[in-house]
């Protein structure tokens, strides 16, 4: 596999979980024979150190081009690379048969359903358009992966096409083993707080704050609720609340410090493909309190967890924690998770 020519399109992945996947994938391929990566210009600083064997093609698609002429850059790049053995597209429809094997990765569950999900009208329209384009592109792909079984099943449910000829597999997210080792030996902050990551409407921050209030009744020392994200996106009742602290989370070391010292990682999200933030909360924080959605249950499936129902709230929540030196069998390091590229391709070729 490593001697094959890979062309990997991460051009829409310059923030959040997508940038994390790009970074870890670039690291892994650069240690081997390398790959060709299409990236957004905002991503170049993130991965430019991994250029020993990798080749990067930097593009800057604006919103109009993304909506109406996405993929405009592909032919110019193919004129340089030739036909790749594998074309891997992270969240971007495979508009035509680009490689000998064409591989689409579901990067966002919202691109397959927005039903009863709290998002802005503009985001809903964008996701509906993207869903239409993804479904129309399925005839061009031989492999489809997703961060979770949930996302794969979601695609199978919404597609009207016969998908028997497509090979489906989970390509999981991971955690950084060095960061985990550093956390085990770090000096702990004695201040008690809970933390959450993300400020999109579907993250349901008001619900997450109610969870925080409930947890305060159990732990009188729990004083702060730290929200990683943009303060302007917070619900009005949280912006001036004395218990709420907003951090933009731009520094990775600071983010890991905040996660590793948190009593609780909280997610009240309505939908996730498979949240890297929740995964890192599970790995680094003392406990997680998660909304009862399929991808959260999938992440916890090999762990003991409790179901939590709070009077006055209609939702069920999942509570879990594990000893600091014990990693559940379904949780992968990034090294293991990225090696899945090899395993998936090998299984496809059987």
- Using one digit for the tens of pLDDT, what is the confidence trace for 61-115? 766 666 666 788 999 999 999 999 999 999 999 999 999 999 999 999 999 999 9
Which structural domain, as residue segments, surrounds residue 35? 6-174+332-349
224 and 297 co-located in one domain: yes
Q: Say if 301 falls within a structural domain.
A: yes
Q: Say if 326 falls within a structural domain.
A: no
Task: State both tokens at 97.
Answer: 């048969």
Contacts of 50 (CB under 8 A, 6+ apart): 26, 27, 29, 30
337 and 192 co-located in one domain: no
93 and 144 co-located in one domain: yes
Residue with tokens 């384009």: 133
Residue 21 to residue 27: CA distance in whole angstroms? 10
Cα 114 from chain centre: 17
Task: State both tokens at 212.
Answer: 């925080």
What are the pLDDT digits (tens) for 247-295? 887 688 899 999 999 999 999 999 999 889 999 999 999 999 999 999 9
pLDDT recorded at residue 64: 66
- Residue ranges of the chain with pLDDT lower than 70? 1-2, 62-69, 185-187, 250, 323-325, 350
CA dist list (Å): 340 to 119, 147, 295:
32, 11, 19
Give yes or no for a contact between 290 and 296, defined as CB atoms under 8 angstroms apart: yes
338 and 303 co-located in one domain: no
Task: State both tokens at 272.
Answer: 């996730």
| DSSP code of residue 325 | T
CA neighbor of 39 nearest in space, from 16, 9, 6 = 9
167 and 206 co-located in one domain: no
CA dist list (Å): 132 to 26, 96, 271:
29, 15, 19
- 339: number of Cβ within 10 Å: 14
Upper half-sphere CA count for residue 225 (Cβ side, 13 Å) = 24
Q: Say if 267 falls within a structural domain.
A: yes
Phi, psi angles (nearest 5°) of residue 195? -140, 150
206 and 281 co-located in one domain: yes
Q: Say if 325 falls within a structural domain.
A: no
Q: Say if 327 falls within a structural domain.
A: no
Task: State both tokens at 165.
Answer: 């000829």
pLDDT recorded at residue 181: 84
48 and 143 co-located in one domain: yes
pLDDT recorded at residue 191: 86
Task: State both tokens at 94.
Answer: 């495979």
- 63: number of Cβ within 10 Å: 8
- CATH code where residue 287 lies: 3.40.50.2000
162 and 16 co-located in one domain: yes
Give yes or no for a contact between 295 and 109, defined as CB atoms under 8 angstroms apart: yes
Residue 290 to residue 329: CA distance in whole angstroms? 19
192 and 141 co-located in one domain: no
pLDDT recorded at residue 63: 66
Q: Say if 83 falls within a structural domain.
A: yes
In sequence order, the β-bridge partners of residue 285 are: none
Q: Say if 208 falls within a structural domain.
A: yes
CA neighbor of 17 nearest in space, from 142, 146, 189 = 146
CA dist list (Å): 162 to 93, 220, 295:
17, 56, 25
21 and 129 co-located in one domain: yes
106 and 222 co-located in one domain: no
Residue 242 to residue 239: CA distance in whole angstroms? 9
pLDDT recorded at residue 324: 60
Q: Say if 88 falls within a structural domain.
A: yes
Cα 327 from chain centre: 19
CA neighbor of 171 nearest in space, from 302, 16, 334 = 334
| Neighbour order of strands in the sheet with 55-59 | 55-59, 36-40, 6-10, 86-90, 101-106, 143-146, 167-170
61 and 152 co-located in one domain: yes
Based on the structure, what is the number of domains in the chain?
A: 2
């Amino acid at each position: 596999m490593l001697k094959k020519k890979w062309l990997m399109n991460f051009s829409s992945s310059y923030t959040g979980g997508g940038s994390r996947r790009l970074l870890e994938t670039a690291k892994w391929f650069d240690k081997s024979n390398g790959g060709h990566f299409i990236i957004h210009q905002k991503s170049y600083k993130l991965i430019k150190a991994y250029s020993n064997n990798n080749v990067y093609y930097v593009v800057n698609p604006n919103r109009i081009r993304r909506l109406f002429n996405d993929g405009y850059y592909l032919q110019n790049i193919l004129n340089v690379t030739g036909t790749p053995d594998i074309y891997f597209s992270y969240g971007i429809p495979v508009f035509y048969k680009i490689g000998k094997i064409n591989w689409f990765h579901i990067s966002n569950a919202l691109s397959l359903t927005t039903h009863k999900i709290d998002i802005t009208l503009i985001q809903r329209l964008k996701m509906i358009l993207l869903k239409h384009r993804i479904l129309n592109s399925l005839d061009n792909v031989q492999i489809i992966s997703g961060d979770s079984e949930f996302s794969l099943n979601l695609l199978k449910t919404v597609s009207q096409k016969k998908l028997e000829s497509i090979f489906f597999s989970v390509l999981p997210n991971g955690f950084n083993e060095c960061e985990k080792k550093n956390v085990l030996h770090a000096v702990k902050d004695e201040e008690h707080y809970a933390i959450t990551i993300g400020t999109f409407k579907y993250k349901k921050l008001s619900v997450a704050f109610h969870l925080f209030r409930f947890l305060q009744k159990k732990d009188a020392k729990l004083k702060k609720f730290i929200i990683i994200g943009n303060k302007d996106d917070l619900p009005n009742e949280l912006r001036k609340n004395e218990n709420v602290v907003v951090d933009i989370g731009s520094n990775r070391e600071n983010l890991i410090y905040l996660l590793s010292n948190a009593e609780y990682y909280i997610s009240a999200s309505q939908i996730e493909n498979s949240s890297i933030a929740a995964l890192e909360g599970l790995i680094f924080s003392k406990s997680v309190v998660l909304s009862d959605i399929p991808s959260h249950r999938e992440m916890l499936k090999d762990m003991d967890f409790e179901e939590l129902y709070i009077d006055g709230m209609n939702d069920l929540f999942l509570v879990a924690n594990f000893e600091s030196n014990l990693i559940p069998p379904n949780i992968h390091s990034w090294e293991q998770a990225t090696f899945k590229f090899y395993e998936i391709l090998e299984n496809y070729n059987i």
